[in-house]
Structure 1
Amino acid sequence: MRIVSLLPSLTELVCALGRRDDLVGVTHECDYPASVRELPSLTASRIPAEATSAEIDALVSERQAGLYTLDEATLASLRPDLILTQEQCDVCAVNEATVRRAAAALPGSPRVESVDPRTLDDVFAMFRRVGDLIERPVEAEYLVAGFHRTVRWIREFVMPSRPRPRVALLEWLDPPFSSGHWNPDIIELAGGREVIGRPGERSRRVGWDEVAQAEPEVILVALCGFELERAAREMASVIDRPEWRRLPAVREGRVALVDGSAFFSRPGPRLEVGLRIAAGAMAPLLFGPLDTRRGEAWRFLPKP
C-alpha cells in the first residue's frame, strides 16, 4: 500500500501503527517521527515563517481556505493508493475539497479518507478507522488501551476527593484563543476543570476580560502549531498585561509553557503525553519530571 498523509497527526498515527515504510508522501509540517522528514513534501504554507501571532491571526481571518498549497504534480508521481486528509480545519492543513479534486484526476482513483475528530472518543474512533484501512486493527486497539492505562495511572495518584483546579488551556495569545475539541476532555481526565474551553467545540477567540473572569488556577499555554521555544517567545505579548499579571495562576507561578504542536494540537498518539503533561501541571508534587517529561516538553514560567 502506498500511503500519502496530509496531516501531521495522521502521519504520526500511520507510523505508530507500524506502516512507516508504506508512507510515500507527507506535508511540510510532518516532523515526527524524525524519519518522515526524508519523505517528499506535498504542501507549503503561504504564511511567512517570521510572522507574529497577531499577523498570523490576521492572515487566517482574511484568507481562510487559501493558506496552504498542494503540489499536485508530485502527488501524481507518487501514485498513492490511499490519501489521508482532514475536514476539520482549513487553516491547519490543505482544504479537503482541494485534495479530493486532485485525487479525482489521478489514475487508479486512490481512496481519500478524511477525518474530523471533535472529542477524545472521536480521536479513538479515528485510530480504529485508520487501523482498519491500513490493516493494523490490533495495533490501533493497543494505542487506545495505552491511553486508558495512563488514565488509570493518573487516577491512582489524584484521589477523587481532591479538589479539581480551575484550568485554562490557551491555544493562542495574540489574540487569546481558548482550547476546544478534545483538549477539555484531556483536562478533565488529568484531574482538572477547563473553565473557558468547551468540549467538542472549536477553539474560539476570547477576550482577556473573559479569561480574567474565569479565574484559572492553572494555565497551560499550548500554542497551536508552535513548539516550546517559539511559544516562549510569544509570551512577550502578554507578560506585561495587567489582566495577565492579576490571574491567580500567574500570581502563584502555575503557568505551564507547553509544546502545544506536539502534545495538544494534533489528534494523534502523542495526546497520551499531553495527558501526562496536564496532570503534572495540575499536581506537580504527585508526578515526577520523568513521568510527565517536565523540563523537556514543558516547564513552569516563573512568578512575575
Structure 2
Amino acid sequence: MRIASLLPSATDLLFDLGLGSSVVAVSHSCDHPGAAGLPVLTRSIVNPDAPQVEIDRAVSEAVQAGRALYQVDGELLDHLAPDLVVTQGVCEVCAVTPGTLETAVRYLPGCLPATQVLSLEGRTFAGILDDLRALARATGVLERGEALARTMQERWENIQPAPGALRVLTLEWVAPPFFGGHWVPEQVERAGGVNVLGQAGSDSGRTSWEEVAALDPDVIVVMCCGYGLRANVEFALTLRNGPELRAVREGQLWAVDANALFSRPALGTVRGAEVLADLLRGQAREGESVQVP
C-alpha cells in the first residue's frame, strides 16, 4: 500500500504501526526521522518564522476571508498515485483538511480515482486511540492497531498523578494568549492538576492577560502549538516582562516540547501527561520540559 500523510500526527501514527515503508509522501510539517527525504505535498501560506503576533494576524485574516491556510501540490499527489491519503478535520489552523485536498485535485481530471481518503477526527485521548484503530483498519493491520491502543490505554491509566491538585494554565500561544483545548485538559487532569481554562474535546481558545491574572493559576505551562522545547522556552521568557502573575513570580513557569507531547493527536500525548505529572512534582525531564527562571 502507498500512503500519503498530510499531517504530522498521521505520519507519527503510521510509523508507530510499523508502516513507515509504505509512506510515499508527507506534509511540510512532518518531522518524523523516518520521513526525512520523502516528497513534500503541502506548504503553508503563513510564514512560520514570523513573530507570533504577525502569525496570529495572518491566520485570523485568512480564516475571516475563507482562505485555506495550506496548499496541496495536486499534480505531485496525482503523480505519486497513493492508495490512501490521510488528512484531518480537527483544526483548519493545524493541518490540511478534506476541503483543502478536494480543492487541490478539483481541476485534475481522474486524479485519485481509486484512492481512499481518511480524515482523522480525534479531539480527546479516546478519540486519538480511535484514530489509531481507524488508520490500522484502513491499512490492513487492525490487530496490530488494537494491541497498540490497549498498551497506550494501560500506560495512560497507570500514570501516577501528582499530589496537591495544583491549578494549571496551559498556553498554546502567548501573543496573544490562547489556552489549550482538545486532549490537553485531559492530560492536565490525568497528571493530577486542575485545568483552569479549556475543556476536553473543545477547541483551544483566545484569552486575555486580565483573565489569566484573575484566574491566578499555580502553574503556567507554555506549549505553543507547532514548536519544540527550545522555542517554547523563549516564548515563556517573554512572560517575565509581561503582566504580574503569581506563577511567574514564584517560579512556576514551565516550557515543554509541544510538538512531541501536546500539540498533535498522536501517542506522544501519553508521554506528555507523564511529563506533566513530573512537572507538577517540580521535576523537569531533560529535553522535554524546563522550569523557566
TM-score under structure 1 length normalisation: 0.89
Deviates more, 1:143-152 or 1:4-13: 143-152
- Listed as ranges, the matches of 1:1-150 within 5 Å are 1-32=1-32, 34-64=33-63, 65-102=67-104, 105-150=110-155
* Residues 66-114 of structure 1 deviation map (CA, whole Å, 9 limit, x = unaligned): 2211111110111111100011211111232121344574153301111
Structure 1's 297 and 220: CA in aligned 2 closer, same or farther, altered over 3 A? same
Partner secondary structure for residue 241 of structure 2: coil
Shift of 1:284: 3.1
- Listed as ranges, the matches of 1:153-164 within 5 Å are 153-155=158-160, 158=162, 162-164=163-165
Shift of 1:204: 0.3
Whole-Å separation in 1 of the counterparts to 2:216 and 2:143: 43
In structure 1, give the amino acid aligned to 2:76. T
* Residues 250-289 of structure 1 deviation map (CA, whole Å, 9 limit, x = unaligned): 222222201112210100121121111111111136xxx6
- Listed as ranges, the matches of 1:202-213 within 5 Å are 202-213=203-214
Which blocks of at least 5 consecutive residues in structure 1 are unaligned? none
- Listed as ranges, the matches of 1:164-183 within 5 Å are 164-183=165-184
* Residues 132-179 of structure 1 deviation map (CA, whole Å, 9 limit, x = unaligned): 111222332233223333334323x64xxx431111111000000001
Whole-Å separation in 1 of the counterparts to 2:6 and 2:249: 41
Whole-Å separation in 2 of the counterparts to 1:152 and 1:198: 20
- Tell me if structure 2 keeps the 8 A contact 1:103–1:112: no
Whole-Å separation in 2 of the counterparts to 1:107 and 1:234: 42
Which blocks of at least 5 consecutive residues in structure 2 are unaligned? none
Whole-Å separation in 2 of the counterparts to 1:284 and 1:140: 35
Whole-Å separation in 2 of the counterparts to 1:121 and 1:152: 12
In structure 1, give the amino acid aligned to 2:36. R
* Residues 172-229 of structure 1 deviation map (CA, whole Å, 9 limit, x = unaligned): 0000000100110111111111011221110000011111122211221111001112
Deviates more, 1:176-185 or 1:252-261: 252-261
Q: Report what 2:241 is aligned to.
A: 240
Whole-Å separation in 2 of the counterparts to 1:232 and 1:47: 22
Whole-Å separation in 2 of the counterparts to 1:164 and 1:171: 21
- The one of 233, 240, 261 equivalent to 1:263 is 261
> How many pairs does the alignment contain?
287
* Residues 45-68 of structure 1 deviation map (CA, whole Å, 9 limit, x = unaligned): 122243000000000100124221
Whole-Å separation in 2 of the counterparts to 1:79 and 1:41: 14
Structure 1's 141 and 272: CA in aligned 2 closer, same or farther, altered over 3 A? same
Whole-Å separation in 2 of the counterparts to 1:228 and 1:16: 22
Partner secondary structure for residue 217 of structure 2: coil
Whole-Å separation in 2 of the counterparts to 1:49 and 1:163: 38
RMSD, aligned α-carbons: 1.7
Whole-Å separation in 1 of the counterparts to 2:225 and 2:197: 16
Matched, 1:300 2:279: no
TM-score under structure 2 length normalisation: 0.92
Structure 1's 165 and 115: CA in aligned 2 closer, same or farther, altered over 3 A? same
**Alignment identity in percent?**
36
In structure 2, give the amino acid aligned to 1:254. Q
- Listed as ranges, the matches of 1:213-252 within 5 Å are 213-243=214-244, 246-247=245-246, 249-252=247-250
Whole-Å separation in 2 of the counterparts to 1:214 and 1:146: 36
